[in-house]
Homo-oligomer: A and B are copies of this chain.
């Protein structure tokens, strides 16, 4: 085996330090996030609630909305209680808890500005609390409007990737190949891919993790409409030249996939990350086609569920 020497131009900084001690876990998780945590600042200083509310799953978002609504109305019902239920007219006769319940529902009517008016504030303090609550309610819904718009208008690129990376003969060499497609119907243009090789190398008896950019047979497509099989030829110029299956394992190889493109529908740039570790490599296999013509020969069908399908060679 001949391993290529690292040259300065090969190297490309991925935002990791260039010489980190050898590490076990992934650099990029399967969901595209970096495997890094930040300490040393107070939680609030590097946490963005708005960001969180934009990106959490829908059911969590709805639970937060409902919980906030419930808690705020409890708070305001308690304020009406503290200022005295006599500040609210129109309440039915009843026990303390029945009054509290009426105050709670009066609070919801004020918060949402529905304001039926059967129960309504008369005294000074009741009016002060109610006018403040209706302001708070409107600001909360102003906020919710923004968040909902933000959630929906974020580019929702959903790239799907072949489960495995295939190692197969390609022209005169061996090549690494994986396949990706855009699962959504929005049009992605000017899609570009970079692959970073994360590899453990020995230097002065110590193992260091280093990063190289791998050359690709093609690194840009005008439109990602069908599937794209990304190919890195392991030729003389590749840092992986003549690597065997065992070499990949020993060097703890991870490929970091960086994708960017332009989303025509949302008018925004999209970015995605993915990674393959050596144990997700399949040797001597090739992908089977994942698109075909429709029966009437009028359009092309892309079969997204076949993206990981491959067949072993010889």
Q: Which residues of A contact B (CB under 8 A)?
A: 12-17, 20-21, 23-25, 34-41, 45-48, 50-51, 54-55, 65-66, 69, 73, 89-90, 92, 101, 105, 108-110, 112-118, 120-122, 124, 127, 130-131, 134-135, 137-139, 141-150, 152-156, 158, 183-187, 189, 191, 194, 196, 218, 220-228, 258, 262, 264-271, 291, 293-294, 297-306
Contact B15 A226 (CB under 8 A): yes
How distant is the Cα of A114 from the Cα of B191 in the complex, in angstroms? 49
Contact A92 B122 (CB under 8 A): yes
Identify the closest chain B residue to A24 (Cβ): B297
Contact of A150 among B153, B218, B226 (CB under 8 A): B153
How distant is the Cα of A252 from the Cα of B299 in the complex, in angstroms? 16
**CB contact under 8 A between A141 and B138, given known A34-B187, A109-B115:** yes
List, sorted by A's number, 18 A–B pairs whose CB atoms are closer than 8 Å: A13-B222, A15-B223, A23-B297, A24-B298, A36-B225, A36-B299, A36-B300, A37-B301, A39-B301, A40-B306, A51-B186, A101-B124, A112-B135, A118-B120, A118-B122, A141-B145, A142-B148, A222-B258
